[in-house]
Amino acid sequence: MREGPATVVHRQDYAAPAFWIRQVELCFDLDPVKTIVSSKLHIERNPAAEPQPLKLHGEDISVLRVMSGGESLSFRHEDKLLVIDNPPADAQFVLEIRNTCSPEKNTHLSGLYTSGGGFFTQCEAEGFRRITYFLDRPDVMAVYTVTLRADKAKYPVLLSNGNLVEQGELDNGRHFAVWHDPFPKPCYLFALVGADLVCREQKIRTRAGKEHLLQVFVRRGDLGKTEHAMASLVASVVWDEARFGLPLDLERFMIVAVEDFNMGAMENKGLNIFNTKYVLASPATATDVDFAGIESVVGHEYFHNWTGNRITCRDWFQLSLKEGLTVFRDQEFSMDMAGGASARAVKRIEDVRGLRAAQFPEDAGAMAHPVRPDSYAAIDNFYTATVYEKGAEVVRMMQTLVGREGFERGITLYFERHDGQAVTCDDFAQAIADANPGSELAARLETFKRWYAQAGTPRLKARGAYDAEARRYTLTLTQSAEPSPGQPTKEPFVIPVLAALIGRDGGTLAGERLLVLDTPEQQFVFEDVAAEPVPSLLRGFSAPVILDDGLGDAELLTLLAHDSDPFNRWEAGQRLALARLLAAVQAPTTEALDTPFVDAMRAVLRHPALDPAFKELVLTLPSEGYVAEQLASFDPQRIHAVRENFREQLAAALQTDWAEAFEANLVQEGYAPTPAQAGRRALANLALAMLCLHAVRSGDAVWPGRAYQRVKDASNMTDRIGALAALVHSHSELAEPALARFHAIAGGEPLVVDKWFALQAQASEPVGAGHGRAFARAKALLKHPDFSLKNPNRARSLVFQLCMNNPAAFHRADAAGYVFWAERLLEIDPINPQLAARLARVMDRWTALAEPYRSAAREALARVAAKPDLSDDVREVLGRALE
Ligand code: ARG
Ligand code: ZN
């Protein structure tokens, strides 16, 4: 690891490369201890650049020789570069490099590494330089031919990008395969796999009548869990062609599942590599949420084939060009797959809830950065909710401003202009605007692009005035944005506000209309409004802003009961709950919940027409994290105590309704991960949790007994873990035996064991007597024989769940949670810096903590930051936190 501060890269410093690499021939002699890589690079000088040395990236690899035209070339090392001072002077030349790397020592899981006895790669963002020396930047695109050689018995399957052109036997029990990918690609999209795998395959015919082969590779024994991934892949192929006219451009499209993986999955051209979590599913091992996650990640990676691979990023500052757009596409895909209006709305609510849980705090914290960042030390730190999810909202706003058809025209123009190129976020926005002259977007494109440049979540204030005589409603919208690191002042944003006016009786006074705010303050007039309305603003969450519409209880109750926009209907319920949570958190004691609120919740729960999935979302109180985000200084223990108290009150007050909801939503049909079934299971599980909570408080054994029975004999994982969670979070005596049962039933299935760890790490910390039990349990699990910090899924299920998703267990007055965090961070960093840097992000919002947590957090941060050998990744995150 390096000494001293890492190099910071700035967006403004971008310069085209002095050399292009047009063609690459790679040959791998795969061996876990020492793999030999031979590479032949067809290089072309960029005539626009000054003559200069050729500097190739390389990290944790050893060079054996460098040759050109049959002669050795001299080279030297400079930092993490291999410098060739005198490359051939010709406009085009061939460079031959031989180097070695050690896959089995590669615990970073970046580059070429081993997992479960096989070879796998992960090259985005800068992993290719850990395989061989190269111009490891996305604007250098080449055509690859790859030869793989390995022991045939141990590694019967040898895969790389593109098409298989040759395979055969070698001496000593080895075999080989040659792959050719006809599409020029940046090296971050390179992949290889050498392992003992089996595959499910299926043929698919695209509209042009061409047949394509789809394959999903997994370890022996996992084949029975690939049906859903394959179905999702088929659906993705069909959807992209139907919605955007983008067909599959490869003869063969492969997905490979691997157990050790830093992220969700990777869109390598024709050879997507996936975390097992996003491939393997059966009703017995995966929840409805897991099934939905697989559909969306399979879609996401597949959609990258066009948005990311056919058109890629010029530099890593443009990451959102492909990620924001592809998240938008996978969200739309899941919505279209969900079917009806209500299921679509449920998906939108879930996406927004996710954005607020992860991206809003990021935008308000130490790591705040624009969708298109300006600088970085470790690019892996910028695979963030801002680049992904806020980036998707920016794309969604464009669609709102040009309309759905206009947006599809824009996508078509984007591909006409840039197919095969490495481009920027500006190029994308320009294409959407140019395809829609005269649109709300084209009229203010430069202002709109501030969404790429400015960090922070804007605040939108709305105040209305009704003139009964003139039957006129005047809405005044104002916007503001707080400073963020490096950006003390902000220019106004373009904020699309979908708005309607609702009558106090629930009728519509003015239909939905798009208001576009692009100055600090603007007025919008609604004529011919029959009575004083309740405004329903920012419908469907039409912009990623924090809305203050000044509405009181009566108005919110009206929206909750009547708004025809399901998002705002849900939002009204959340705001009613949030107002009460915030009031109680800031008061000395927690009072009884008021009748109008409880009645409104009951009305939703009992409503004959509302979807169970929607009811579950309304009846779930805003999370502790979301409550914390509303406060300038927050006490995690107080928030937890208040929220638990509210849950108990709702459990008690609605007891008979919960029991009815539970019975009414039991699914009798065979398991299918459809939105309809999933919604019923979600509501039944929430009901069961509330029933257990109340039963444990009142000493009643019936519901916990039922939950325990369900842990034992549930026919699917959603119900099994739902029942287990109900027992654990209510602190039932049956929680222990149920956990033991669950572990036994898991039978060592890794993804199920992950759930077992995760649930305990999230266990609700008892308020009052028994406080500290959840933390102690999680800490003790570090010593469990099934636990390992080396497998990212396992580390995430225990350590990250505790530190990120269990605030009351983590933020302790005695600072033991922070000590736990610091110790794990220092253990993980030398093994896997990317993973460690994610864990470091737990402290992003430490400055908003109340005392004594704030001082203790700072101390823990400072202590870790003082260690000499930290990775660049961790150092960047801690540095920003302490700035
Ligand atoms: N491009 C991948 C995806 O979103 C993620 C790769 C992340 N890699 C990383 N080193 N952070 O689909
Ligand atoms: Zn992606």
- The helix or strand, by DSSP H or E, that contains position 496, with its residue range, turns out to be strand 495-502
What does the pLDDT read at residue 738? 99
8 Å CB contact between 799 and 758: no
Give CB contacts under 8 A, 24+ apart, made by 590-599. Answer: 590/641, 590/642, 590/645, 590/646, 592/649, 593/646, 593/649, 593/650, 593/653, 596/553, 596/557, 597/553, 598/649, 598/650, 598/653, 598/654
Q: How much distance in Å is there from the Cα of 388 to the middle of ligand 1?
A: 10
Please say if the pLDDT value at position 356 is more than 60.
Answer: yes
624-647 residues labelled b (16+ CB within 10 A) or e (exposed)? bbbbbbeeeebbbbbbbbbbbbbb
Mean pLDDT within 373-388: 98
For 286, 719, 727, the CA distances from 738, given in Å and listed in that order, are 18, 13, 8
The pair of structure tokens assigned to 523 is 């007025």
Which of 106, 263, 303, 321 is the best mutation target for the ligand 1 pocket, counting ligand atoms within 8 Å of the beta carbon and taking the most? 263
Q: Give yes or no for residue 263 CB within 6 A of ligand 1.
A: yes
Placement of tokens 């919604």 in the chain: 679
CA distance 643 to 578: 10
| pTM > 0.90: yes or no | yes
8 Å CB contact between 114 and 155: no
**Could you report the per-residue pLDDT of 181-219, keeping only the tens digit for each?**
999 999 999 999 999 999 999 999 999 999 999 999 999
Placement of tokens 């088929």 in the chain: 234
Q: Give yes or no for residue 123 CB within 6 A of ligand 1.
A: no
Q: How much distance in Å is there from the Cα of 838 to the middle of ligand 1?
A: 13
**DSSP letter string over 62-90?**
EEEEEEETTEE---EEETTEEEESS---S
Q: Give yes or no for residue 707 CB within 6 A of ligand 1.
A: no
If one counts every other C-beta atom within 10 angstroms of the C-beta of residue 42, the result is 16
Mean pLDDT within 247-271: 98
Percent of the chain whose pLDDT exceeds 90: 99
Please say if the pLDDT value at position 2 is more than 50.
Answer: no
If one counts every other C-beta atom within 10 angstroms of the C-beta of residue 776, the result is 12
User: With bands split at pLDDT 50, 70 and 90, how would you rate the model's confidence at 3?
Assistant: very low
8 Å CB contact between 708 and 722: no
Helix, strand, coil fractions of the chain, as percent rounded to 5: 45, 20, 35
CA distance 682 to 690: 12
With a CB cutoff of 8 Å and minimum separation 6, the contacts of 554 are none
DSSP bridge pairs for 40: 25, 96
CA distance 342 to 345: 5
Mean pLDDT within 111-126: 98
φ, ψ at 45 (rounded to 5°): -70, 145
- The helix or strand, by DSSP H or E, that contains position 195, with its residue range, turns out to be strand 192-195
Mean pLDDT within 6-10: 92
**DSSP letter string over 796-857?**
IIIIIHHHHH-HHHHS-TT-HHHHHHHHHHHHHHHH-HHHHHHHHGGGTTGGGBPTTHHHHH
Q: List the catalytic residues.
A: 301
Q: Give yes or no for residue 125 CB within 6 A of ligand 1.
A: yes
CA distance 758 to 760: 5
Q: How much distance in Å is there from the Cα of 494 to the middle of ligand 1?
A: 29
What does the pLDDT read at residue 5? 64
Placement of tokens 């009229």 in the chain: 443
**Could you report the per-residue pLDDT of 692-749, keeping only the tens digit for each?**
999 999 999 999 999 999 999 999 999 999 999 999 999 999 999 999 999 999 999 9
With a CB cutoff of 8 Å and minimum separation 6, the contacts of 590 are 584, 641, 642, 645, 646
The pair of structure tokens assigned to 753 is 């064991």
CA distance 33 to 799: 30
Q: Give yes or no for residue 873 CB within 6 A of ligand 1.
A: no
CA distance 118 to 100: 18
CA angle 101, 376, 372 (to 5 degrees): 120
Mean pLDDT within 834-840: 98
The pair of structure tokens assigned to 633 is 């200084």
The strand order across the sheet containing 81-84 reads 54-57, 81-84, 76-78
Q: How much distance in Å is there from the Cα of 497 to the middle of ligand 1?
A: 32
φ, ψ at 368 (rounded to 5°): -50, 135
* Residue 748, Cβ density class (10 Å: 0-12 exposed, 13-18 middle, ≥19 buried): exposed
Q: Which atom of ligand 1 is nearest to the CA of 127?
A: 10
What does the pLDDT read at residue 696? 97
**Could you report the per-residue pLDDT of 42-69, keeping only the tens digit for each?**
999 999 999 999 999 999 999 999 999 9
- Which residue lies with its CA nearest to atom 3 of ligand 1? 266
Placement of tokens 């985005």 in the chain: 124
What does the pLDDT read at residue 6? 77
Q: Nearest ligand to the C-alpha of residue 382?
A: 1
Please say if the pLDDT value at position 431 is more than 60.
Answer: yes
Mean pLDDT within 679-686: 98
Mean pLDDT within 827-834: 98
How long, in residues, is the chain? Answer: 883
- Which residue lies with its CA nearest to atom 12 of ligand 1? 266
What does the pLDDT read at residue 852? 98
For 712, 730, 813, the CA distances from 637, given in Å and listed in that order, are 33, 17, 9
Q: Give yes or no for residue 380 CB within 6 A of ligand 1.
A: yes
What does the pLDDT read at residue 4? 53
**Could you report the per-residue pLDDT of 813-828, keeping only the tens digit for each?**
999 999 999 999 999 9
What does the pLDDT read at residue 222? 98
Please say if the pLDDT value at position 666 is more than 80.
Answer: yes
Please say if the pLDDT value at position 465 is more than 60.
Answer: yes
Q: How much distance in Å is there from the Cα of 319 to the middle of ligand 1?
A: 10
Helices (H), 714-784: 717-729, 735-746, 750-761, 773-781
CA distance 825 to 809: 18
- Which residue lies with its CA nearest to atom 1 of ligand 1? 266
Q: Give yes or no for residue 323 CB within 6 A of ligand 1.
A: yes
